[in-house]
Amino acid sequence: MTMPLTEEHMAPMFRSAFGRPYRHSTSCGSTQDQLLDSDPEGTVAVCEEQTAGRGRRGRLWAAPSGRALLASIVLKPPNERPAAQLTLLSGVVVAALIERELCVPVGIKWPNDVLVGNAKVAGILAEQRGAAVMLGIGINVNQTADELPGDARLPPTSLRVLAGRPFSRSELLAALVEELETTYRGWAERGLSVVSDELAHRDVLRGERLEVGAAAGVGAGIGSDGALLIETTSGLEAVVAGEVNVTW
């Protein structure tokens, strides 16, 4: 039985400003909808189970109760910072956190998939609401192999499957919130350059054959603005949004 991530349990574990206020429910539709754009920056919502958890591009995000980390956080980025970069920024934070736990390389498939090998361990969903961005993070933590979704676009995995042992979700959540705050504040001041080296090093699409919409070619990195660069037969193309199909 895993310990629920109640406010009583989590409040003493948050070491910086983010994580207050904190909203926890046993079950909700989506943590994204537990937050309002009038909530202060850094408000966090966590549910043990989501009945309508969502991924990018209208997909479902499903996990059995109490196994995954299902969290959303309110951010209010400065006007000059493109909110789309928050997906990449938080992907880097999540990847670094998981890498530290597992001691295996963790990659990012632009723009929002966090991978170990070619298996997905976490995903990010940034939704703009007024001046706020609801940043949703789903990390597969303690699911066993048969609890992972069978119909996923990328093969799913979890920390537990990868390491052969369960993890403390509360420690992961506290570290995630703190590290996200630090990286976010750096980005708000200085832009995506705060993670560009790490993003380049985690980019699993570089050098791979890709297709995104009409663009096809070889992954050529991530631009300084966060666009996916593809070397096509007619030159370098920058893709700002889309679904990447890759032939590994």
Residues binding ligand BTN (CB under 6 A): 30-32, 50, 53-56, 59, 61, 70-72, 112-113, 123-125, 136-138
Q: Shortest Cβ distance from residue 235 to ligand BTN (Å)?
A: 30
Q: Find the shortest distance in angstroms from Cβ 94 to ligand BTN.
A: 11
* SS3 call for 160: helix
Residue nearest to ligand BTN (CB): 123
Tell me how far, at minimum, the Cβ of 80 lies from ligand BTN, in Å.
Answer: 26
Minimum CB separation from ligand BTN for residue 29, in Å?
Answer: 8
Report yes or no: 16 and 179 within 8 Å, Cβ to Cβ: no
Between 47 and 222, CB nearer to ligand BTN: 47
Asked whether 19 and 177 are in contact (CB, 8 A), the reply is yes
Please list, residue by residue across 216-237, b when 16 or more beta carbons sit within 10 angstroms of its beta carbon and e when fewer do.
ebebbbbeeebbbbbeeeeeeb
Number of H helices, E strands in the chain: 5, 12
What DSSP element (H or E) covers 88? helix 85-102
Q: Least Å distance between CB 15 and ligand BTN?
A: 22
- Decide: 230 and 239 in contact? Cβ < 8 Å: yes
Q: Are 102 and 162 in contact (CB under 8 A)?
A: yes
Name the residue nearer to ligand BTN (CB basis): 32 or 183: 32
Q: Which is nearer to ligand BTN, 55 or 217 (CB)?
A: 55
Task: Please report, as a single letter, which amino acid is at residue 78.
Answer: P
> Closest CB to ligand BTN among 93 and 220?
93
CB closer to ligand BTN out of 30 and 183: 30
